[in-house]
Structure 1
Amino acid sequence: MKKWLSIVALTVMSLVLAACVSDDAGANSEDGGSTEEITIGYFPNINHVAGMVAETKDLYAETLPDGTKVNYQYFPDGSSFMTAIETGDIQGGLVGPGPAMNHFTSGAEVNVVAAGSTGGTVIMAREGSDIKSPEDLAGKTFVSPRVGCTHDVQFETMMKEEFGLTSDRIDGEMKHVTGKPATYASLFETKNVDVATVPEPWASSIEEQGSGKVLVDTQDVAFGETLPAAVFVTSQKLVDENPDMVESIVEAHKKATDFINENPEEAKQIAINKIKDITDQELSKEVIDRAWERIDFTYEVKEENLQKFADASYDLEFLKEKPDLTGLVDTSFLD
């Protein structure tokens, strides 16, 4: 009887161990291939074209172990993206630097391992609003994707430093509301907002539709040409426990960025197709061409540029404590 029980116990233990092995990252299938599964996230914005190219061209299959299943998840805002990184629902992807820094300073163990792009933020005024200069924005309503997001901080920094105007969030003269960038044209048409801080390609789309006009172009917005408009983020846990995976993910991202710069016309068509798939809105080639001129696609990232932006977030009271971004950026995977 004891011998029979021992056999049963050993059998159960073997099954448990087998289940543990099959669930672990990096487990191998019988034919030697990987049974890993990862999920990459990004937004349907032009700043995130590297994500669209990597998905369309299946570039992660070229760098990750054979058999790795790659899924994709699309996000409407940075807060939901960063939550997914922290919970492990996604293993990496592109997000604005604002949410990445905000979550890091709040205690999230995350790493910026590359940039995605720079530029692409445009300040638009509603057609017919009689707004001719940012100085006219006292008492006006502006929209950004989310409180404290990258585009919000860029706009509010510019307004405070150059025109002495702040939002009602800190008892200022401008009213702030939030909304998805794809809806900004309709918000202009219904006159619900006067000004929008807009990521591409939605700024160029608004221009084409005629519901808004450029008030401040990319190069004149705060941090417009130095700040990464998108950064590639993963968790510190993944960096510590599976650096090979992080290296493979970053390598695929680098390949996607190089493809964009070497094949801009094909990359533009990929962006048109993916944005339509995700948002059900088809952008014209003219819109994409215009948006492309405002963006530089690069994976190089400098910590000092992010620190300056974080300091601006603190000055605007988006952050409660003066930020120290030491440890956020890890460029070792770019070598």
Structure 2
Amino acid sequence: MKKIFYMTAVGVLLIVLSACGSSESEAGGEEKEADEITVGYFPNINHAAGMVAEEKEMYQEQLPDGTKVNYQYFPDGSAFMTAVETGEIEGGIVGPGPAMNHYVSGAAINVVAAGSKGGTVIMASNDSNISTPEDLKGKTFISPRVGCTHDVQFETMMKEEFGMTSERVQGDMKHVTGKPATYASMFEAGKVDAATVPEPWASVIETEGSGKVLVDTPEVAFGETLPAAVFVTSEKLKEKNPELVQNLVDAHKQATDFINENPEEAKTIAQDKIKEITDQGLEKEVIDGAWERIDFSYEVDESVLQDFADSSYNLKFLEEKPDLTGLVDKEFLKNG
């Protein structure tokens, strides 16, 4: 499959698996009629399948005639997962971290498809004198949150390949946190030396020229295998109305196939939709750069999610080793 494009708590213990990216749009909803549903997603590039499905009315195409489809845009993964659990939305696209968090906390939810993979990039400031990962010893790196998806990917790579860890576990690197949108300015101000960056912010930094790629997506831990987004629904809905869940998955698959077959049109849809929802535009050069680091795929491998959770535990972000058995249900992918 051609590679084409990213952006991921429930409790102090499990917040380490939370999503790292968020938007400024707010979630909201009203009581629904019996013949209407609501689908949720984030206005982020790695959620492009949601944007395409909305723009092309693919959910309406797959659902019974007359079904009204509403869309809800979320500021963070925890809000999304709460909406799924309460039935405020029937399902949609979210980062893998919040889905894992809520599942191990007892939520009756399932990942029924993936949304995209890839999009994490390790970058260094132009003035940091860093040319290889080994040069990070004694340096300061930034991630969106402690133990978030991108932090775990970076620290897993550094520990396994270079024997380096953060000061959090008596290691050699200083760790700070901040919003990815600020990384370019922090590089320029000399406040941090390196960053583990979700797209599209890596492409923003490249375009602005404030930093350079140190380790690109394929070489980052879980870089091409870990879902950057997953499609989630509730076990209650699955048991009550499996036909509806099948319709949702079929529309999601249709949107994903459209992205892979029509990348330029899909880019335009994503660019316009992000602008519409957030009132913040992304230049085409940034969209193009981010798109190249992502693989839009609905196939999901539960073993990768477990490996990622195990890595979080091994890095001491978690006190207990999580068991994700039962989180993924691929039956609807097989039936579609």
TM-score by length of 1: 0.83
Deviations 1:148-181 (Å, cap 9, x if unpaired)? 3222211111111112222343343333333333
Tell me the residue number matched to 1:251: 250
Q: Which amino acid aligns with 1:248?
A: N
SS of residue matched to 1:318? coil
Shift of 1:142: 2.5
Runs of 4 or more, structure 1, over 6 Å off, are: none
Q: Which amino acid aligns with 1:103?
A: H
Deviations 1:87-127 (Å, cap 9, x if unpaired)? 43333222222332232222222211001111111111122
Shift of 1:76: 4.2
Whether contact under 8 Å (1:99, 1:150) holds in the other structure is no
1:154-233 matches, cutoff 5 A = 154-233=153-232
SS of residue matched to 1:128? coil
Tell me the residue number matched to 1:307: 306
Tell me the residue number matched to 2:6: none
Tell me the residue number matched to 1:331: 330
Distance of 2:267 and 2:49 partners within structure 1: 11
User: Where do 5+ consecutive residues of structure 2 fail to align?
Assistant: 1-30
Compare relative contact order (CA 8 Å, sep 6+) and give the higher one, 1 or 2: 2
Distance of 1:154 and 1:192 partners within structure 2: 22
SS of residue matched to 2:175? strand
Whether contact under 8 Å (1:272, 1:282) holds in the other structure is yes
Q: Which amino acid aligns with 2:78?
A: S
Tell me the residue number matched to 2:272: 273
Tell me the residue number matched to 2:8: none
Distance of 1:76 and 1:190 partners within structure 2: 28
1:69-148 matches, cutoff 5 A = 69-148=68-147
Larger Rg, first or second structure (1 or 2): 1
Whether contact under 8 Å (1:102, 1:319) holds in the other structure is no
Distance of 2:280 and 2:126 partners within structure 1: 22
Whether contact under 8 Å (1:41, 1:94) holds in the other structure is yes
Distance of 1:24 and 1:328 partners within structure 2: 27
Tell me the residue number matched to 1:41: 41
- Greater mean deviation of Cα atoms: 295-304 or 95-104: 95-104
Whether contact under 8 Å (1:45, 1:200) holds in the other structure is no
Tell me the residue number matched to 2:237: 238
Shift of 1:70: 2.7
Q: Which amino acid aligns with 1:40?
A: G
TM-aligned CA distance change 1:100 to 1:131, over 3 Å: same
Q: Which amino acid aligns with 1:101?
A: M
Shift of 1:259: 0.6
User: Where do 5+ consecutive residues of structure 1 fail to align?
Assistant: 1-22, 28-33
Distance of 2:287 and 2:107 partners within structure 1: 35
Tell me the residue number matched to 2:293: 294
TM-aligned CA distance change 1:60 to 1:46, over 3 Å: same
Distance of 2:316 and 2:90 partners within structure 1: 30
Whether contact under 8 Å (1:39, 1:89) holds in the other structure is no
Whether contact under 8 Å (1:122, 1:203) holds in the other structure is yes
Q: Which amino acid aligns with 1:41?
A: Y
TM-score by length of 2: 0.83
Question: Cα RMSD (Å) of the superposition?
Answer: 2.2
Q: Which amino acid aligns with 1:114?
A: A
Q: Specify which structure has the higher proportion of helix.
A: 1
Deviations 1:173-213 (Å, cap 9, x if unpaired)? 33333333333323333333322212222211110011111
Whether contact under 8 Å (2:40, 2:80) holds in the other structure is no
SS of residue matched to 2:308? helix
Shift of 1:326: 1.1
Distance of 2:193 and 2:266 partners within structure 1: 33
Shift of 1:218: 0.4
Distance of 2:32 and 2:73 partners within structure 1: 25
TM-aligned CA distance change 1:209 to 1:109, over 3 Å: same
TM-aligned CA distance change 1:135 to 1:270, over 3 Å: same
Deviations 1:238-273 (Å, cap 9, x if unpaired)? 222222221111111111101101111100111211
Distance of 1:176 and 1:108 partners within structure 2: 31
Shift of 1:24: 8.0
Whether contact under 8 Å (2:120, 2:217) holds in the other structure is yes
Deviations 1:43-73 (Å, cap 9, x if unpaired)? x332211111112222211122334333333
- Greater mean deviation of Cα atoms: 276-285 or 151-160: 276-285
Tell me the residue number matched to 2:64: 65
Whether contact under 8 Å (1:142, 1:193) holds in the other structure is yes
Q: Which amino acid aligns with 1:38?
A: T
Distance of 1:45 and 1:284 partners within structure 2: 14
Deviations 1:31-51 (Å, cap 9, x if unpaired)? xxx2x2313122x33221111
